[in-house]
Structures are given as structure tokens and as C-alpha cells.
Copies of this chain bind each other. A is one copy, B any other.
Amino acid sequence: MRTEILPVRPLTKAAFAPFGSVIETDGAERRLINGGTTERFHALAEATALGEGARAIISIFRGQPFALPLEIAMLERHPLGSQAFVPLDRRPYLVVVAPDAGDRPGDPLAFLASGIQGVNYAAGTWHHPLLALDSASEFVVVDRAGPGDNLQEYFFSDARFRIESLPDA
């Protein structure tokens, strides 16, 4: 059994690109609409809902905070749909993802999302369930509903991954 300390990097579009989209105004396509009274930061992410009878739904998640050090013991994925999280409390949170390594996750990567960054996990992307920090925090979530099995979980048995500290602000 090997033990790895996961470094936590600031979340950026470039680093996250293999796993999905970062939902943020920074660097986004900006359109002026509504007679100039609204800026539209356009199509930061797309909701994918695969399969007969699939629908994209909007929910609110309220996540309890996690404290460090934190062990990443499992990841999950949704093969039939994307899943987007946008923070409603403007508080940073952790994002842990992994590349696929043959129907199981490879080694995870950890990112610190700022309070003004959302993420959209592409369909089939291994990720850890919601990791709020500091306080219970709400997120608007856009994901898939409909028939079919849209949840796969993987519990690491041959390695331990630990997050011990956050990047300096």
C-alpha cells in the first residue's frame, strides 16, 4: 500500500480542461445584452444528458465542510451526464478529479476552486463528491436525471491519497 500526499493547485481552465469546464467570468466570452444593462459571460459550460428520457435538472446542494488533513478514499463518476457546481456562498472549495485508467481512476489531482469559480465535470469524469471548506456551503448543481445507471463509485484499495494543506492565498 503506497501513500501519496496530493498537492493542491489553484484551479485554472488549462489545468482542468481534461476533466471539464471552469465556470468563471475571467477570460470568458463577454456579450453585452438587454440594452447594455447586462453582461453575458456566454456558454461557460454545457450540460450533457445522455440516453433516452434524459433531462438536465437544476438542484441545490448544501455540503458540510471538510477539515484537513483529508483522505481521498474514493471517487465517483456519472457516465451519462455532466455535473456542474457553482458556489452560492462565494467560498473556496476543493475539487479532486482523476483521469480514467481502464474503468477505474488513476492517481487523483486536487485543485482549490475560488469562491467565484464553478466547475462542470464532463460526463464520465472521475471526481470526489462535494468538498466544501470552512462552513456548510451551498452550490447550484446542473446534472442529469432519467433512466439508467448514472453512478459508478471506486474505492481505492491499493493506495492512500491525503490532502494536508492548501496553496497559499
Could you tell me if A86 and B84 are in contact, using CB atoms closer than 8 angstroms? no
- Chain B residue numbers with a CB within 8 Å of A90 are 88
Could you tell me if B61 and A23 are in contact, using CB atoms closer than 8 angstroms? no
Interface residues of A (CB under 8 A from B): 23-25, 28, 33-35, 37-47, 49, 55-64, 66, 84, 86, 88, 90, 116, 118, 120, 129-130, 138, 140-142, 145
- Chain B residue numbers with a CB within 8 Å of A120 are 58
Least CB distance from A65 to B in Å reads: 9
* Residues of A contacting B: mostly: strand
Choose from B41, B62, B64, B145 the contact partner of A61 (Cβ within 8 Å): B41
The 8 A-B residue pairs with the shortest CB-CB distance in the complex, in nearest-first order:
A34-B129, A47-B56, A45-B58, A41-B60, A39-B62, A43-B57, A56-B56, A37-B64
Least CB distance from A59 to B in Å reads: 5
Choose from B41, B44, B59 the contact partner of A41 (Cβ within 8 Å): B59
Could you tell me if A38 and B62 are in contact, using CB atoms closer than 8 angstroms? yes
Distance A59 CA – B118 CA, assembled complex (angstroms): 11
Which residue of chain B lies nearest to A49 when distances are taken between CB atoms in the complex? Answer: B56
Least CB distance from A79 to B in Å reads: 18
Instruction: Show 27 A/B contacts (Cβ-Cβ < 8 Å), sorted by A.
Output: A23-B58, A23-B60, A28-B60, A37-B129, A37-B130, A38-B62, A38-B64, A40-B60, A40-B141, A42-B59, A43-B57, A43-B59, A43-B145, A44-B57, A44-B58, A45-B57, A45-B58, A46-B55, A46-B56, A46-B145, A47-B142, A56-B142, A58-B84, A58-B86, A58-B118, A88-B116, A142-B142
